[in-house]
């Protein structure tokens, strides 16, 4: 039986080799294009998928969640969210949180062009999930008056926050190639969302973001209210007992920059919080870097593989993770039902899956507020076809008889 030092050396060596091979693959394949700044959006997506779904999937997911959370420090954004009435109850907050994550994860995990990276030019788009998700967001956003600047600010946070989190909390920083790929990929998403005046370089975009924050991220009651609703959802599992909720709220505030925290009218984080965060996440980063084997399969918040297509209606999906309310979680029997009951008992959810939470799963073109669930389908499919440059396959279109 090998000794512990030999075992640690084996794991470290295997992880290092796998990481080196992956980085070598990226460098060999894209180094020339990177130097020429000629990487396509499809190639950029492949690069960040390798990073985010294999190297640091959890950190990537939370960095995007906190990027969205950070937008609530802009009063024009937070006021609009309050006016939508989608934060009126915990069930609505949980559904909005679930729907937002599903749509973003779909267009990040599925090919933006609808085609594999190695597809022949002009090939039919067989995987329209990303296009449908972006089209659905565009249709939903068309119901509200949102300034181009607020769109652009949100887009910029999604493009750059993952690199900031990786440098601060990850087991490694993103390479310049990965950072550039994130900028290119999210710029393409922005164009598909009809966002105007996207800066042509990452440096210009980051400078614009900073200037926008300095002018527009100011304290407002709407910022505080939206942040509180979201914080309650994030910390749903944490009980009030023995001051645990207050303790974890302080820890969470430590993850916010001072300007954001002040704009949300939140008190300063306890002094011990930054040391606790630094120590805990540093330990996790050390463990991931030196003690864990490389991930063999990609991990994403939504299913990645194409489903079996049924001709009578568009396919349904179940996300990988669930909110306080079990939105889109399948109803199970036997031991599965008992496990769902146990999760309610320990506070992971506050109810078991059922029809009221769409236990049958979601269709991408239906995701969004309940009042819009059965609206806009044809328009979404038309927009999705325009985004990918060819018609959406019939099997993905909404059936007139599907419920």
Q: Do residues 192 and 249 share a domain? A: yes
From CA 368, how far away is CA 144, in angstroms rounded? 14
Q: Residue 117 falls within a domain, yes or no?
A: no
Judge whether residue 10 has pLDDT over 50: no
Q: Do residues 60 and 183 share a domain? A: yes
Q: Residue 388 falls within a domain, yes or no?
A: yes
| 3 state SS of 317 | strand
Q: Do residues 366 and 243 share a domain? A: no
Residue 269: φ, ψ to 5°: -65, 150
Token pair 């011990």 is at which residue?
Answer: 272
What percentage of the chain exceeds 90 in pLDDT?
Answer: 61
Judge whether residue 17 has pLDDT over 60: no
Residues whose CB falls within 8 Å of the CB of residue 322, separated by 6 or more in sequence, listed in order:
98, 328, 329, 349
Token pair 């079990």 is at which residue?
Answer: 326
Token pair listed for 270? 């306890």
Q: Residue 312 falls within a domain, yes or no?
A: no
Number of other residues whose CB lies within 10 A of the CB of residue 40? 14
Residue 243: left (phi > 0), alpha (psi -120 to 50), or beta? left
Q: Do residues 387 and 271 share a domain? A: no
Q: Residue 323 falls within a domain, yes or no?
A: no
Closest CA to 112 of 44, 52, 199, 179: 44
The pLDDT tens digits for 240-289 are: 888 888 899 988 999 999 999 999 999 999 988 989 998 999 999 999 88
Burial label for 324, CB within 10 Å (0-12, 13-18, 19+), is: buried
| 3 state SS of 87 | coil
Q: Do residues 179 and 274 share a domain? A: yes
Q: Residue 339 falls within a domain, yes or no?
A: yes
- Domain span holding position 188: 38-84+144-290
Q: Write down the pLDDT at residue 88.
A: 64
Distance of CA 103 to the CA centre of its chain: 8
From CA 318, how far away is CA 303, in angstroms rounded? 7
Q: Do residues 59 and 158 share a domain? A: yes
Are the C-beta atoms of 213 and 261 separated by less than 8 Å?
A: no
Q: For 126-140, 258-272, 387-401, which range has the lowest pLDDT when averaged over its residues?
A: 387-401
The pLDDT tens digits for 137-184 are: 999 999 999 999 999 999 999 999 999 999 999 999 999 999 999 999
Find the mean pLDDT for residues 326-338.
92
Q: For 114-123, 211-220, 236-245, 315-324, which range has the lowest pLDDT when averaged over its residues?
A: 114-123
Find the mean pLDDT for residues 211-220.
97
The pLDDT tens digits for 343-379 are: 888 888 889 999 999 999 999 999 999 889 999 999 9
Find the mean pLDDT for residues 301-309.
86
From CA 275, how far away is CA 47, in angstroms rounded? 33
CA atoms within 13 A on the CB side of 119: 16
Are the C-beta atoms of 87 and 77 separated by less than 8 Å?
A: no
Q: Do residues 278 and 340 share a domain? A: no
From CA 379, how far away is CA 381, in angstroms rounded? 5
Q: Write down the pLDDT at residue 287.
A: 92
Considering only residues 258 and 309, tell me which one the structure prediction assigns the higher pLDDT: 258
Q: Residue 191 falls within a domain, yes or no?
A: yes
8-state DSSP, 265 = T
Considering only residues 21 and 164, tell me which one the structure prediction assigns the higher pLDDT: 164
Q: How confident is the model at residue 397 (pLDDT cuts 50, 70, 90)?
A: confident
Token pair listed for 269? 């984080």
Q: Residue 174 falls within a domain, yes or no?
A: yes
From CA 331, how far away is CA 395, in angstroms rounded? 25
CA atoms within 13 A on the CB side of 223: 20
Q: Do residues 279 and 390 share a domain? A: no
Q: Residue 179 falls within a domain, yes or no?
A: yes
Closest CA to 315 of 398, 372, 391: 398
Q: Do residues 69 and 209 share a domain? A: yes
Tally of domains in the chain: 2
Q: Do residues 200 and 253 share a domain? A: yes
Q: What is the DSSP string of 325-373?
A: S-TTPPP--THHHHHHHHHHHTTS-SS---GGGTTT-B-GGG-S-GGGT
Q: Which of 255, 290, 325 is the last residue of a domain?
A: 290
Q: Do residues 278 and 373 share a domain? A: no
Judge whether residue 18 has pLDDT over 60: no
Q: What is the mean pLDDT of the chain?
A: 88
The pLDDT tens digits for 70-82 are: 999 999 999 999 9
The pLDDT tens digits for 23-54 are: 566 667 787 888 888 899 999 999 999 889 99
Q: How confident is the model at residue 6 (pLDDT cuts 50, 70, 90)?
A: very low
Judge whether residue 318 has pLDDT over 60: yes
Q: Do residues 77 and 209 share a domain? A: yes
What percentage of the chain exceeds 70 in pLDDT?
Answer: 90
Q: How confident is the model at residue 12 (pLDDT cuts 50, 70, 90)?
A: very low
Residues belonging to the chain: 403
């Amino acid at each position: 039986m090998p000794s512990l030092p030999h075992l640690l050396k084996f794991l470290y060596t295997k992880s290092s080799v796998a990481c080196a091979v992956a980085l070598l693959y990226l460098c060999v394949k894209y180094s020339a294009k990177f130097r020429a700044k000629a990487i396509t959006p499809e190639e950029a997506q492949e690069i960040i998928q390798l990073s985010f779904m294999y190297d640091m999937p959890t950190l990537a997911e939370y960095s995007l969640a906190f990027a969205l959370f950070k937008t609530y420090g802009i009063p024009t954004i937070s006021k609009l969210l309050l006016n939508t009435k989608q934060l009126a109850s915990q069930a609505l907050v949980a559904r909005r949180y679930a729907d937002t994550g599903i749509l973003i994860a779909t267009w990040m995990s599925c090919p933006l062009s609808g085609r594999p990276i190695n597809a022949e030019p002009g090939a039919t788009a067989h995987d329209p999930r990303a296009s449908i998700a972006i089209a659905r967001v565009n249709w939903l956003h068309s119901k509200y008056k949102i300034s181009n600047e607020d769109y652009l600010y949100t887009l910029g946070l999604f493009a750059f926050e993952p690199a900031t989190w990786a440098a601060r909390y990850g087991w490694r920083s993103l390479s310049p190639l990965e950072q550039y790929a994130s900028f290119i990929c999210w710029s393409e998403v922005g164009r598909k969302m009809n966002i105007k005046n996207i800066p042509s370089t990452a440096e210009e975009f980051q400078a614009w973001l900073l200037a926008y924050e300095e002018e527009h991220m100011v304290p407002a009651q709407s910022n505080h209210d939206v942040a509180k609703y979201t914080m309650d959802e994030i910390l749903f599992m944490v009980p009030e007992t023995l001051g645990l909720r207050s303790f974890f709220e302080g820890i969470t505030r430590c993850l916010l920059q001072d300007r954001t925290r002040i704009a949300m009218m939140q008190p300063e984080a306890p002094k011990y919080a930054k040391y606790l965060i630094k120590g805990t996440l540093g330990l996790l980063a050390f463990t991931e870097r030196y003690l864990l084997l490389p991930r063999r399969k990609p991990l994403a918040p939504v299913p990645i593989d194409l489903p079996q297509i049924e001709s009578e209606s568009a396919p349904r999906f179940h996300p990988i993770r669930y909110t306080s309310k079990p939105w889109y979680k399948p109803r199970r029997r036997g031991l599965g039902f008992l496990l769902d009951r146990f999760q309610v008992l320990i506070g992971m959810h506050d109810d078991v899956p059922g029809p009221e939470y769409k236990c049958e799963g979601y269709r991408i073109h239906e995701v969004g507020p309940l009042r819009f669930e059965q609206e806009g389908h044809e328009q979404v499919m038309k927009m999705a076809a325009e985004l990918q440059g060819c018609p959406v396959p019939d099997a993905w279109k909404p059936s007139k008889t599907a419920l």
